[in-house]
Amino acid sequence: MADQLKLDTVALRDAGTSLRVVAQEFNDANANSDGVADAVGHAGLARCVEDFAHGWDDRRAKLIGLIASLAESCTGIGEGFEGLDRDFAAALRGAE
């Protein structure tokens, strides 16, 4: 039986950083789609690109919130466990 808790706090903090990037990409989707629409060279296709990107604004906004919340959680858990590890190590050094 294992009496240890092992947690990769670096991976958690990195996940938080990556999720913030994903949330920002979703947030920038309309602006990015406008640029793509301008570049496609066909008015009908450009309209389809814009309609698609702008057509799910409400769902995208909810998704951005969920991703941002997950990013904060990952970062907070990683930092929290690192702080606990430091505190426990200091307590053990004090008990020596």
pLDDT in tens, 35-70: 888 888 888 988 888 888 888 888 999 999 999 999
- Dig out the tokens for 53 from the structure: 């990107």
pLDDT in tens, 86-95: 999 999 988 7
Q: Are the C-beta atoms of 45 and 69 separated by less than 8 Å?
A: no
- Spell out the domain ranges in the chain: 11-95
Tally of CA atoms within 13 A in the half-sphere of 2 that contains its CB: 3
Q: What is the DSSP letter of 32?
A: H
Q: What is the percentage of the chain residues whose pLDDT exceeds 90? A: 55
Topology annotation, domain 11-95? Helix Hairpins (1.10.287)
Rounded to the nearest 10 degrees, the angle between the axes of helix 57-95 and helix 9-27 is 160
Residue position matching structure tokens 């009908």 = 44
Q: Is the pLDDT of residue 1 over 70?
A: no
